[in-house]
């Protein structure tokens, strides 16, 4: 294999740096020449990755959680470089969705010259790229409170309190969605734009989307009462496939715009730094990801099959 850069987050949830370095050394033959870069949290990681790719690295092994993986992936959008993931974070949603094993050894064993790959899509907002989801509404308050909680190291009670407090504040508001230039005027309390099917809770899938299907799903929730929310939550917990009248799903393959009457906070892959209006460009097949799913599904083959049939 040519040149691999291992991008290691030493403070990710379950990273044991010595174990990672040892596992890499054991695979020196399989991996070929590689260099290890330990993230500091201070660098502009996407820019750094982009620079290293231009210097000749063509395989990037991200060792960390979704934050690390997302930043490395962002630096590779539109390139031919391969991304591999060794999930060692507290959240490993991208790895989970891509079927990448949780064990350090199994994940590294996947990284070979002829490793199977999938092309995952990205969501571009201004000059940043997201791979999981973008939302506004109840979820933003919970994410913000969870972040505060982590920082202050509060107990579980604080988390429950946050959920109740945010539920109590749930409000419908008029929202205009432009899905691939088609307008929809809705009154909703939550808008979720999902590239990945998972919400990071075990095996719960929120949508039927995949990271490599060339589209994102936009799910809107209309909830006037607490009971509406509880009903939706129950549906997901029980994996009921029926959709409630309060839930609408749109699919977008090119561009989504979300407008509200008053600026509303938006979270983008867990960062609450933006406000509406927000414009999301779907970048199809943005990043080449090493994933065992490659052999299981092939959307391009499905598309050409349809073409032959017509
Ligand atoms: Mg998708």
Residues of the chain with CATH 2.60.200.40: 130-284
Q: How far is CA 11 from CA 168, 192, 193, 214, in A?
A: 35, 29, 29, 33
CA 209 to ligand 1 centroid distance, Å? 5
Architecture of domain 130-284: Sandwich (2.60)
Residues 258-286 pLDDT 10s? 999 999 999 999 888 899 999 999 999 99
CA 80 to ligand 1 centroid distance, Å? 20
CA 269 to ligand 1 centroid distance, Å? 15
CA 21 to ligand 1 centroid distance, Å? 34
CA 69 to ligand 1 centroid distance, Å? 17
Residues of the chain with CATH 3.40.50.10330: 4-115
CA 82 to ligand 1 centroid distance, Å? 19
CA 151 to ligand 1 centroid distance, Å? 32
Residues 54-100 pLDDT 10s? 999 999 999 999 999 999 999 999 999 999 999 998 888 899 999 99
Topology given in CATH for the domain delimited by 4-115: Rossmann fold (3.40.50)
Position 309 scores a pLDDT of: 37
pTM check: above 0.75: yes
Mean pLDDT (the chain, rounded): 85
| Higher pLDDT, residue 37 or 15 | 37
CA 85 to ligand 1 centroid distance, Å? 19
CA 252 to ligand 1 centroid distance, Å? 9
């Amino acid at each position: 294999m040519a040149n691999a850069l291992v991008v290691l987050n030493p403070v990710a949830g379950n990273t044991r740096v010595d174990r990672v370095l040892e596992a890499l050394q054991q695979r020196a033959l399989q991996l070929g020449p590689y260099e290890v870069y330990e993230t500091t949290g201070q660098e502009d990681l996407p820019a750094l990755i982009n620079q290293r790719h231009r210097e000749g690295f063509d395989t990037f092994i991200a060792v960390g959680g979704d934050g690390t993986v997302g930043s490395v992936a962002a630096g590779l959008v539109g390139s031919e470089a391969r991304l591999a993931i060794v999930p060692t974070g507290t959240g490993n949603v991208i790895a989970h969705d891509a079927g990448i094993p949780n064990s350090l050894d199994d994940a590294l064993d996947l990284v070979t010259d002829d490793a199977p790959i999938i092309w995952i899509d990205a969501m571009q907002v201004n000059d940043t790229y997201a791979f999981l989801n973008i939302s506004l509404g109840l979820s933003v308050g919970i994410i913000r409170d969870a972040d505060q909680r982590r920082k202050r190291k509060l107990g579980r009670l604080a988390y429950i309190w946050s959920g109740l407090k945010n539920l109590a504040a749930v409000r419908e508001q008029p929202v205009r969605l432009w899905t691939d230039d088609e307008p929809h005027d809705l009154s909703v309390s939550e808008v979720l734009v999902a590239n990945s099917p998972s919400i990071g809770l075990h095996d719960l899938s929120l949508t039927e989307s995949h990271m490599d299907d060339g589209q994102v799903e936009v799910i809107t929730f209309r909830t006037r009462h607490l009971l509406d929310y509880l009903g939706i939550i129950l549906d997901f917990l029980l994996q009921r496939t029926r959709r409630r009248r309060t839930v609408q799903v749109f699919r977008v393959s090119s561009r989504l715009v979300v407008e509200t009457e008053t600026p509303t906070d938006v979270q983008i892959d867990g960062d609450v730094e933006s406000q509406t209006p927000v414009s999301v460009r779907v970048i199809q097949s943005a990043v080449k990801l090493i994933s065992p799913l490659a052999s299981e599904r092939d959307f391009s083959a499905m598309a050409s099959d349809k073409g032959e049939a017509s």
